[in-house]
């Protein structure tokens, strides 16, 4: 049985050699430093897989059990490692099964290159067996895509694909390669791409905007920072921390920005958004200067747009010009990589205190703690809560685990209560909200950071969407920890039905199989608990294990996640119950 192992890095190929297109693809991947890729073979991509077989000592291919699993695994790998994730599939249904992962990576700015096989060039447009126009299908959900029909195109297109995927605001790229282009031979040489005409991935910061932003920060009485994933993608964690501390500004995060600043930092005031913390949501509409750093003003963060931060001067630090004024008007737009722009503004920002302003956040947190948090993580009722499970994982991991969450109530609970002391520790499907994301993404995350503990937090609904990827854990002995929080419902939909549809629980009750037996059938150590007395010791046992581990926790069936901003409401209308 195969185990996960390290591979030697590839090098640039500069001298021309006559090889097939399929072999050229492998040499391109090695030249880009790819060590691990995820995929599923089929007829139209068979020549590439034949070459992969010959390069097993340099390039690890992980056979996922579904092509969607390959994309999510590549996403998890990319998000935790900071490198480009790679997925590969055949034509037709193999290619279309990648679309959800492409869409997920596009909206969450994840660098990924997907390679698909295609029918032979002369069959294009004939409705040949397993022919699908994946270029047309994937255009709306990729940063760039291209169909290769001649072998000689491969080096230049592959180099461009990796450059576009990882430069500027990252995203997914799809390269479709006809079978004849894989088989034909040509004189191969490879040169990495360092630029594309008319594509300017990183805008040059303007000092006038930097100065204007600094002036507003220095004059502010109630400044507030909301940061997103742009801080992590820009590797600006150090600069964010220095800005927060120098100007003494309370700072909150979107779910994609979580872990850029230690959750224990005294100026980290929590999460914004639909299920974010009470104080940060309310104070968005009380601050006088709002610094939005590497975030895109998603509707789950802003609530009703016409009532969002209207009293504040908005400073938008952003790498993508398309995001400026798209949802929220920016009084000052600071374009550029967040590491660069924050580095430039730091010397211009004055030291400050803002004690009265900070006290308001503390008061709001106490209200939220007494009303919600205390009952979530230290409950007195008999049934187990999702919050106390996350808290035990925090304690057992010393706040150092990578938490990969699926989508639903458990995702919001994990994002609210997981504690992070290291960046790139919160991996989730933010913009698309893809159920089934967590299991394959956790596999990829573990392979991207073998030295870190990776814990997947999944609901009983999402788990069954990609449950087949347990086979990857079985085959490759990936030591990931899987926690299924089982409330026997599609919990988030059920919560909405309870609050807004008079408890008409239409199609949200889950009749589940025996998850423990399923995990055990894949030779994964598995346990189920339903009582508080077993929680701490079982979590400790799971975290101490060096092998894959599956834990099902039976939690309260009708627990709700609060605070909550109802859909279409203002952030000022956040509900505590």
- Tokens 């926790």 correspond to 553
What's the rounded Cα separation, in Å, for the pair 468 and 485?
18
Which H or E run includes 350? none
Residues 6+ apart with CB under 8 A from 396: 539, 540, 542, 543
What's the rounded Cα separation, in Å, for the pair 494 and 488?
10
The rounded radius of gyration (Å) of the Cα atoms in the chain is 24
Residue 491 CB-half CA count within 13 A? 30
Measuring CA to CA, how many Å separate 202 from each of 164, 208, 317, 327, 535?
12, 17, 12, 21, 48
Q: DSSP letter string over 475-516? A: HHT---EEEEEE-SB-HHHHHHHHHHSTT--TT-B-----HH
What's the rounded Cα separation, in Å, for the pair 164 and 196?
8
> For residues 552-563, b (16+ Cβ closer than 10 Å) or e, as one string?
bbbbbeebbbbb
Length of the chain: 577
**Strand partners of residue 456:** 404, 482
Residues 6+ apart with CB under 8 A from 46: 90, 117
Whether 139 contacts 112, CB under 8 Å: no
Residues 6+ apart with CB under 8 A from 146: 135, 157, 160, 161, 174, 175, 176
- The alpha carbon of residue 289 and the mean position of all alpha carbons in its chain are separated, in whole angstroms, by 28
Beta-carbon count within 10 A of 81 CB? 17
What's the rounded Cα separation, in Å, for the pair 348 and 202?
22
Q: What are phi and psi of 33, to 5 degrees?
A: 80, 15
What's the rounded Cα separation, in Å, for the pair 212 and 205?
12
Residues noted as catalytic:
67, 129-130, 179, 492
């Amino acid at each position: 049985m195969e185990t996960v192992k390290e591979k030697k890095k590839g090098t640039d190929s500069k001298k021309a050699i006559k090889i097939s297109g399929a072999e050229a693809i492998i040499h391109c991947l090695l030249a880009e430093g790819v060590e691990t890729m995820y995929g599923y073979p089929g007829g139209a991509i068979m020549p590439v897989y034949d070459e992969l077989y010959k390069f097993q000592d340099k390039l690890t291919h992980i056979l996922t059990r579904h092509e969607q699993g390959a994309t999510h695994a590549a996403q998890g790998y990319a998000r935790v490692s900071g490198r480009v994730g790679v997925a590969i599939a055949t034509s037709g249904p193999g290619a279309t099964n990648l679309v959800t992962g492409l869409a997920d990576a596009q909206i969450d700015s994840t660098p990924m290159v997907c390679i698909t096989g295609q029918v032979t060039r002369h069959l294009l447009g004939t409705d040949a067996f397993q022919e699908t126009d994946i270029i047309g299908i994937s255009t709306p959900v990729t940063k760039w895509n291209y169909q290769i029909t001649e072998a000689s195109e491969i080096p230049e297109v592959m180099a461009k694909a990796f450059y576009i995927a990882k430069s500027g605001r990252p995203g997914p790229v799809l390269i479709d390669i006809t079978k004849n282009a894989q088989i034909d031979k040509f004189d191969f040489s490879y040169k990495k791409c360092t630029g594309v005409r008319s594509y300017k991935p990183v805008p040059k910061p303007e000092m006038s905007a930097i100065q204007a932003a600094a002036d507003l920060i220095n004059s502010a009485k109630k400044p507030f920072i909301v940061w997103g994933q742009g801080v992590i993608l820009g590797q600006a964690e150090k600069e964010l921390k220095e800005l927060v501390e120098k100007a003494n500004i309370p700072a909150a995060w979107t779910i994609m920005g979580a872990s850029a600043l230690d959750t224990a930092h005294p100026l980290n005031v929590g999460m914004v958004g639909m299920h974010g913390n009470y104080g940060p949501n309310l104070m968005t509409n009380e601050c006088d200067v709002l610094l939005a750093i590497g975030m895109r003003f998603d509707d789950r963060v802003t609530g009703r747009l016409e009532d969002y931060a209207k009293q504040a001067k908005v400073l938008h630090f952003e790498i993508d010009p398309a995001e400026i004024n798209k949802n929220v008007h920016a009084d000052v737009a600071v374009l550029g990589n967040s590491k660069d722009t924050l580095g430039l503004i730091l010397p211009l920002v004055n030291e400050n205190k803002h004690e009265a302003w900070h006290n308001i956040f503390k008061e709001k947190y106490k209200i939220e703690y007494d009303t919600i948090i205390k009952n979530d993580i230290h409950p007195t009722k008999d049934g187990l809560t999702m919050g106390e499970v996350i808290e035990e994982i925090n304690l057992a991991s010393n706040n150092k685990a990578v938490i990969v969450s699926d989508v639903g109530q458990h995702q919001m609970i994990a994002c609210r209560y997981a504690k992070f002391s290291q960046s790139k520790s919160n991996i989730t499907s933010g913009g698309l909200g893809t159920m089934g994301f967590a299991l394959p993404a956790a596999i990829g995350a573990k392979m991207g950071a073998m030295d870190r503990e990776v814990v997947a937090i999944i609901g009983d609904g999402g788990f069954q969407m990609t449950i087949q990827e347990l086979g990857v854990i079985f085959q490759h002995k990936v030591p990931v920890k899987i926690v299924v929080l089982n409330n026997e419902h599609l919990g988030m939909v059920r919560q909405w039905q309870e609050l807004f549809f008079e408890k008409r629980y239409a199609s949200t009750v889950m009749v589940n199989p025996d998850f423990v037996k399923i995990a055990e059938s894949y030779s994964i150590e598995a346990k189920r608990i339903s009582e508080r007395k077993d929680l701490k010791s079982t979590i400790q046992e799971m975290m101490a294990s060096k092998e894959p581990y599956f834990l099902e926790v039976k939690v309260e069936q009708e627990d709700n996640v609060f605070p909550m901003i109802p859909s279409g409401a203002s952030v000022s209308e956040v509900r505590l119950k």
